[in-house]
Structure 1
Amino acid sequence: MTLKTTRRTVLRTGAAGLALGLAAPAYLRAQGAPLKIGHLTPTTGFLGPLGEYAQMGIKLAVEHINANGGAGGRQVELIMEDSVNPQTASTKAERMFERDQVDFIIGEISSASCLTISQVAARYGKCFVNTGGNSDSLRGADCNRYMFHVETQNSMYVNAEGEYFDAQGMVDGKNWYTLSADYAFGHDLLNAAKAFLDANGGVLVGDDLVPTDATDFSSYLLKIRQAEPDVVALNLAGTQITNFFKQYGEFGLDFTLGGFGFDTVSAWAAGAQNFRGTWPNVWNHLVQNDASQAFVQAFTTAYGKPPENQAWGDYNAGLIMAQAVTAAGEAGGDALVAYLESPEAQFDLMKSRKGYFRPSDHQLIQEIYAITALPAGEAQNEWDIFTTSDPVPAANEPLERLATSVTGGTCSF
């Protein structure tokens, strides 16, 4: 699907103002050729609900970029596809670069698909901005000079959530039971969780891999009931988490529940009566600052509901790359890499502090949050069913603190 936006909807505060307010040289403003952005993300399968928010986020970003004069004076043309699975993602990425002549690709949620897209992008010397793949290995042994990561990596989520549980006395000497999605994301997240528990005295008493197409969790819930752990931690994704929430309540289990990766769409789909526990979150619609709330208002006006964290990721990736094209003066892969690695490349992410890409592995270093389910009776509506923490790390702590203990090997560009 191809979308060329012309509607003059303008987000004039916060992140959009930073990314789009850069003055473009006259020769760039005069260029007539559009900037072509390819967008790949799964819109079917267990990650489909996240992909829908991703598409809404990037479409709104392109609309705002074009309404503010384009990227480096060039209007943006958006070419969107459903990536479905890693093989399809690779094929469609190659077609976007070869047939559609896109300047770079944004998107994805599956870590396995991120890897295949990044390999195609590298062959063409073009950038790929990952907005949903969490695997540490993508920032480690499988890193790529042309791949950048707006989404945080698994170890950052584990370290943040682990700190919360540790502060509650739920790690040292406590029994943990984990369920992990049986693909690259879940395997990688499980490795990070095991590393954290080993380092902090936690005991792993149960560990099950769950097929991505699983919808019935009764056999796992029976094993959890028998194990009687102190904490049940989920390393699941997409509709897996929603189904687990619903069945966990039906089984009447009340063990402390949490996890090391989470998307708010899973909470909304489960509903206030089923959602419980504390979870790490890259961003949520309750973050209180002007830029964040301006984005929430613009998104809600456009789509009739608040943005999910996946929408935040794809929206901000669009703004980041518009800023990069403007600053670099072109959209070539090498020029964009040089800018995104530079000290000048800092980005307003609708948070307390600006973020930046770490040159050593291209991870966007940024604050994250913890969200905690409200009792069902305290939920005001179908969206506001949790509370959000202050940013993590705290204002007086180094921004890279959560990203210092990682798994997945060492990056070598």
Structure 2
Amino acid sequence: MTTTNKTRREFLLTGAAGLALTVAAPAYLRAQSAPLKIGHLTPTTGFLGPLGEYAQMGIQLAVEHINANGGAGGRQVELIMEDSVNPQTASTKAERMFERDQVDMIIGEISSASCLTISQVAARYKKCFVNTGGNSDSLRGKDCNRYMFHVETQNSMYVNAEGQFFKGEGLVDGKNWFTMTADYAFGHDLLAAAKAFLDANGGNLVGDELVPTDATDFSSYLLKIRQAEPDVVALNLAGTQITNFFKQYSEFGLDFTLGGFGFDTVSAWAAGAQNFRGTWPNVWNHLVPNDPSQAFVKAFSDAYEKPPENQAWGDYNAGLIMAQAVAAAGDASGDALVDYLESSEAQFDLMKNRKGYFRPEDHQLIQEIYAITALPADQVKNEWDIFTTSEPLPGAGEPLETLAQSVTGGTCSL
């Protein structure tokens, strides 16, 4: 794993990307400032639990970083974390955080369905909710609201990025595809985007299976894949579903081209080098070769004895973004933060080549993403570096919003 010589202490004092997270204020003013309370909700149990664990590590490191730099606009941050479990529980806990704990905002989540219920609660309280893991286009479309922002990229962005790879490999026009889709909001939405891409580019969908989120045995699906003999098997699965599929795919001895339209590196690590294969879209990964990314990798690894997963990146950066917003707006109220985050001055260092910004019309963070490709097992040297990473997408000469076009999920009306 690549590291830099920057120590964790230096990292905490300078920031992952040199962000100025505080505003100048006399010590006595800082002492009088009430703490900034951040609620963090994410699933730490169930099929998304492994991702939630990284999310919690990411936000905890962000808070440590922010407080080491003097706080958010001079306010020290207090963090309240809960396991969201499912959409109903997420809604109940969001209500409790705003009502009982008096949090100023909520950050987190992975399930698109839970993102929706949390955002509805946040809107009632006119407080910001920053989604760090929910991909559904509809959250940026018909289900959007004024107080919800998205650090995680949306499904259509992943589909467009991965689709460009498959087109370049000659695996779309006239080719047969078989999809496996998680049977909940995220999967349905991703499948809609995948179908739109295939329709627009001449791909044939010869198999389309909805998979319950608690499914662990994929043998019946694998038999259907073997019978269909597709050119590409594309996964619209999530969490431990992907890990289990990888392992059983190898056991069945199948060798059809494998890929997908949404991916988290924890699934690759859990499957292991002997089972992981294919090329996958990725919002960020620990191999991104720039100084800010590698400083973050070192700080995270020092703290947790393993490299950060992309979910940790998302929650970490969401914390830094909102600290920057509070400092710039001089206020943690929902309306003040919305006004700043929608403004042209709100740009964010994301450990990538180009700064990101929230698109005002739907609050999606517009940013570069990557594609990761599995290494052959005999080229793997450790349990973490089992893939290669692409250059940032879109390419340097293309507009940053290139991948955020032709989206599904309806029209956002903020």
TM-score (norm 2): 0.96
1:93-172 matches, within 5 Å, as 93-172=94-173
Matched residue type, 1:339 = Y
The match for 2:205 is: 204
For residues 245-293 of structure 1, the C-alpha deviation after alignment (integer angstroms, 9 at most, x for no partner) is 0000000000000000000000000000000000000000000111100
Instruction: Tell me if structure 2 keeps the 8 A contact 1:193–1:260.
Output: yes
What is the CA distance between 1:29 and its match in structure 2?
2.7
The match for 1:266 is: 267
In the aligned structure 1, how far is the partner of 2:223 from the partner of 2:358?
A: 43
Instruction: Tell me if structure 1 keeps the 8 A contact 2:58–2:313.
Output: yes
The match for 1:368 is: 369
The residue matched to 2:145 in structure 1 has which SS? Answer: coil
The match for 2:3 is: none
Matched residue type, 1:310 = Q
What is the CA distance between 1:32 and its match in structure 2?
3.0
Matched residue type, 2:379 = E
In the aligned structure 1, how far is the partner of 2:183 from the partner of 2:172?
A: 24
The match for 2:23 is: 23
What is the CA distance between 1:14 and its match in structure 2?
5.5
The match for 1:213 is: 214
Instruction: Tell me if structure 1 keeps the 8 A contact 2:23–2:74.
Output: no
For residues 373-408 of structure 1, the C-alpha deviation after alignment (integer angstroms, 9 at most, x for no partner) is 000110110000000000000011000000011000
Instruction: Tell me if structure 1 keeps the 8 A contact 2:42–2:110.
Output: yes
1:187 aligns with 2:188: yes
Instruction: Compute the RMSD of aligned alpha carbons.
Output: 1.2
Instruction: Tell me if structure 2 keeps the 8 A contact 1:11–1:17.
Output: no
Instruction: Tell me if structure 2 keeps the 8 A contact 1:328–1:335.
Output: yes
The match for 1:65 is: 66
Matched residue type, 1:124 = Y
What is the CA distance between 1:12 and its match in structure 2?
4.1
Change (3 A) 1:168 1:188: same
In the aligned structure 2, how far is the partner of 1:14 from the partner of 1:170?
A: 42
In the aligned structure 2, how far is the partner of 1:327 from the partner of 1:220?
A: 52
The residue matched to 2:400 in structure 1 has which SS? Answer: coil
Instruction: Tell me if structure 1 keeps the 8 A contact 2:94–2:122.
Output: yes
Matched residue type, 1:24 = A
Matched residue type, 2:198 = L
1:81 aligns with 2:82: yes
The match for 1:4 is: none
Instruction: Tell me if structure 1 keeps the 8 A contact 2:373–2:388.
Output: yes
TM-score (norm 1): 0.97
For residues 285-311 of structure 1, the C-alpha deviation after alignment (integer angstroms, 9 at most, x for no partner) is 000111100000000000000000000
Change (3 A) 1:127 1:276: same
The residue matched to 1:400 in structure 2 has which SS? Answer: helix
Matched residue type, 1:64 = H
1:287-366 matches, within 5 Å, as 287-366=288-367
Matched residue type, 1:266 = S
The match for 1:48 is: 49
The residue matched to 1:370 in structure 2 has which SS? Answer: strand
1:406 aligns with 2:403: no
Change (3 A) 1:198 1:255: same
Instruction: Tell me if structure 1 keeps the 8 A contact 2:13–2:68.
Output: no
Matched residue type, 1:219 = S
The match for 2:389 is: 388
What is the CA distance between 1:33 and its match in structure 2?
1.2
In the aligned structure 1, how far is the partner of 2:287 from the partner of 2:202?
A: 33
In the aligned structure 2, how far is the partner of 1:148 from the partner of 1:61?
A: 18
In the aligned structure 1, how far is the partner of 2:294 from the partner of 2:358?
A: 24
The residue matched to 2:12 in structure 1 has which SS? Answer: coil
The match for 1:3 is: none
In the aligned structure 2, how far is the partner of 1:198 from the partner of 1:12?
A: 50
Instruction: Tell me if structure 1 keeps the 8 A contact 2:357–2:365.
Output: yes
Change (3 A) 1:46 1:9: farther
Instruction: Tell me if structure 2 keeps the 8 A contact 1:154–1:189.
Output: yes
Matched residue type, 1:75 = Q
For residues 70-117 of structure 1, the C-alpha deviation after alignment (integer angstroms, 9 at most, x for no partner) is 001010000000000000000000000000000000000000000000
In the aligned structure 2, how far is the partner of 1:266 from the partner of 1:116?
A: 26
The match for 1:231 is: 232
Instruction: Tell me if structure 1 keeps the 8 A contact 2:16–2:295.
Output: no
In the aligned structure 1, how far is the partner of 2:32 from the partner of 2:360?
A: 30
The match for 1:255 is: 256
Instruction: Tell me if structure 1 keeps the 8 A contact 2:17–2:350.
Output: no
What is the CA distance between 1:17 and its match in structure 2?
2.4
What is the CA distance between 1:28 and its match in structure 2?
5.5
Change (3 A) 1:100 1:9: farther
Query: Which segments of 5 or more consecutive residues in structure 1 lack a partner in the other structure?
Result: 1-6
In the aligned structure 2, how far is the partner of 1:137 from the partner of 1:9?
A: 41
In the aligned structure 1, how far is the partner of 2:74 from the partner of 2:13?
A: 17
Change (3 A) 1:192 1:125: same
Matched residue type, 1:280 = P
Change (3 A) 1:19 1:134: farther
Instruction: Tell me if structure 2 keeps the 8 A contact 1:14–1:350.
Output: no
Change (3 A) 1:332 1:235: same
